[in-house]
Amino acid sequence: MTDIPADAVCIGESMAMLVPEDARPITADSRFVLRVGGAESNVAVSLARLGHRSRWVSALGADPFGRIVLDELDAAGVDTSFVVTDEDAPTGLYAKDPQGRSTRVHYYRRGSAASRLDVTSIAPSAADGARVVHLSGTTPALSESCLRLTHAVVGDRVLGPAAVSFDVNYRPGLWSVADAAGELAAIARRADIVFVGRDEAATLWGTDRAEEVRELLPEPTVLVVKDGATGASVHGQGGRAWADALSVPVVETVGAGDAFAAGWLSGWLRGLGPERSLRLGHLVASRAVQIVGDCPVVPERGDIDRYLRHEEERA
């Protein structure tokens, strides 16, 4: 275990991921590449590549896929010292099935090592000194113990005083709207920073506009509402800010929301302010949609700063 505190601690499942190497729909002739994916570990990787100290906390099976996940995150500079190995449960798997500008996802994660996580699985010191703890709505969908863990971290603050970031990240393949809507709203209301897509807010809660989402979730200090390829808005104590998304060629979109969250959190950690943080989120997300994996190579800090200055001059 490292004694160096992380800027950000991300908690949740990561899986081995199968992706058709040509980013086309799966057929009997598809050739696959093996990658690593999972909402929270994706955020941890992008934050590390953006120059922050990030830590991923989870469980993996004692199998080759677990080793691949650990090796990839270690190579990205993510601290994995609080990851536990479960000898009795496997590492989760999932497959991407690209369908043009959308991607279907097929999960094979029931009974996985991460689905057995509970409050006792995580060392109380995992977030010591951290500025933010990040989770997403995939974690409470995995099991009853993961649901209790999420409420303990977000609501009871069992990991200490760090700000809590929560990406609603509703996945219909994991639970129904009837099961998810109330739980995800309750968790979001107790977080400090919340990310939600306008489309998923409409699915879960029947809201149609960003302002309606804010009325539904007035408690978080910061609410970020994403509107797909159009842009995103941030609603906080300083009012509302908006930034357009970047127009880039799209290979497939899974992972873009995690990349956006990492970019926004990087801006928040750097004190860049709402609008610049949105722009950084869009920049990182634009890199994610151009690859078949979930975790993009991000620009160097100097290039990011030049991009942000350029966007401000254009505004």
Active-site residues, by number, are 258
Bridge partner list, 19? 33
H/E run at residue 205? helix 198-205
H/E run at residue 199? helix 198-205
What is d(CA 4, CA 227) in angstroms, rounded to the nearest whole number?
A: 37
8 A C-beta contact, residue 23 and residue 292? yes
Q: What angle do CA 208, 213, 216 make, to 5 degrees?
A: 120
H/E run at residue 33? strand 32-37
What is d(CA 231, CA 81) in angstroms, rounded to the nearest whole number?
A: 36
What is d(CA 177, CA 52) in angstroms, rounded to the nearest whole number?
A: 35
For residue 41, give every residue at least 6 positions away whose Cβ sits within 8 Å of its Cβ, in sequence order, or none. Answer: 10, 12, 14, 56, 58, 69, 73, 78
- Measure Cα distances from 31 to 20, 26, 95, 170, 255 in Å: 6, 9, 12, 29, 21
Alpha carbon 182 to its chain's center:
20
What is d(CA 231, CA 225) in angstroms, rounded to the nearest whole number?
A: 9
What is d(CA 294, CA 38) in angstroms, rounded to the nearest whole number?
A: 8
194: closest CA among 206, 203, 184, 179?
184
Token duo for residue 220: 């978080």
